[in-house]
Amino acid sequence: MQDRALRYLLAVIRAGSVRAAAETLNVAASAVSRQIIDLEAEVGQPLIERLPRGVVPTEAGRIVAEHAQREADERLLLEDRLSRLRGVQQGTVRIWCGGGFVADLMEHGLASFSEHYGGVGYKITLGTTDGILAAIAQGDADIGMAYNPQAHPDVRSVVTARQPLFAIVPPDHPLKSGGVPVPLRTFAAEPVALFPPDHGLRQMIGRVEANEGFHLGGRLETASFDLHRRFIAQGLGVGFLPHFVVADEVASGAMRAIALRDALLSEARSHLLLRAGRRLPEASRRLLNHLAQHMHAFQNVP
């Protein structure tokens, strides 16, 4: 099987259509179709099924696509090993993560890693939990970080850490829990910052609201973690965030974190993700280990 044909097949399956794949590859759609037809002739079976709204892989197509992805991974490893023979410590690590990981990643992950590996570059993409899982599974990301993701057959969690959702309040907030967890409904009468309805954190909170029969009074709705922090810092109300998102602010006394006793929120975990069976190039492997050791997100909160 030719590398080009395998690469084109992967692109078609990921894009969902021959035309979209051709645009991504910057080639003619007819050239992509011809490579797929030739590959199907070589395999002796159809590899894609054409539907009114695009294409999906057949069982044979999924098997060949998995082989193509392994070939692409092995090619990257070969290039990496040859580079290391030349004494080169470089490469670009592709990271997909949720917005809540960004500050922790930059300040406690990449800053210290770059002091020792200045030749390594980073491509960081922010995504939803489903988008992060898909990027890891399809080989579009080397490392993923997600909060409370669902299981995925092609993705494995290298590190998981207990990172409960906390009520984050200004330092002068009147509630003094003395370290005793309180129910989420404690804040039902207060102005709060909430994420949009399709956000994973909002859905977690929404399930607790539904189960307990109350409704939080949202004053701010935004997907921006930075705006949530600023809302709390200005004393405008309460936010609900994992501890690692505001670890520095809590440590400095600029905010307080109040534990929540609702089981759904108190048992949430952050995950450091890889594609199942993937062997990382050296730069990605070292970065993965560094992030696991230095980021707040991957340390268990008592």
| pLDDT, tens only, 99-142 | 999 999 999 999 999 988 888 889 999 999 999 999 999 888 99
In the predicted model, is pLDDT for residue 76 greater than 80? Answer: no
* pLDDT at 279 > cutoff 90: no
pLDDT of residue 181: 94
Q: What is the pLDDT of residue 85?
A: 54
Give pLDDT, residue 167: 97
Given a cut of 60, whether residue 20 has pLDDT beyond it is yes
Looking at the chain, the whole-number percentage of residues with pLDDT higher than 70 is 96
Average pLDDT, the chain: 90
Over residues 232-246, the mean pLDDT reads 95
Contact of 132 with 145, CB cutoff 8 Å: yes
The pLDDT of residue 243 is above 70: yes
- What pLDDT score was predicted for residue 74? 80
Q: Which of 66-75, 181-190, 228-237, 241-250 has the lowest mean pLDDT?
A: 66-75
Residue 291, pLDDT above cutoff 90: yes
pLDDT above 80 (res 166): yes
What are the chain's domains? 3-69 (1.10.10.10), 89-162+270-298 (3.40.190.10), 165-266 (3.40.190.10)
Q: Is the pLDDT of residue 55 over 90?
A: no
Q: In 124-195, where does DSSP find H-type helix?
A: 129-137
The β-bridge partners of 160 are 271
- Per-residue confidence band for 274, with pLDDT thresholds at 50, 70 and 90: very high
Mean pLDDT over 169-185 rounds to 91
pLDDT for the residue numbered 90: 62
Asked if 209 and 183 touch (Cβ cutoff 8 Å), the reply is no
In this structure, are residues 57 and 65 in contact, taking their beta carbons and an 8 Å threshold? yes
Of 205, 195, 187, 193, whose CA–CA distance to 236 is shortest? 193
Mean pLDDT computed over 234-255: 94
The angle that helices 18-25 and 3-15 make with each other, rounded to 10 degrees, is 120
d(CA 98, CA 58): 32
Residue 267: what pLDDT? 92
Across 22-26, 32-36, 174-178, 277-281, least confident range: 277-281
Average pLDDT over residues 43-55: 86
Give dist(CA 231, CA 229) in Å, integer. 5
- Residue-wise pLDDT for 88-103, tens only, equals 466 789 999 999 999 9
* Chain-centre distance for alpha carbon 80: 24
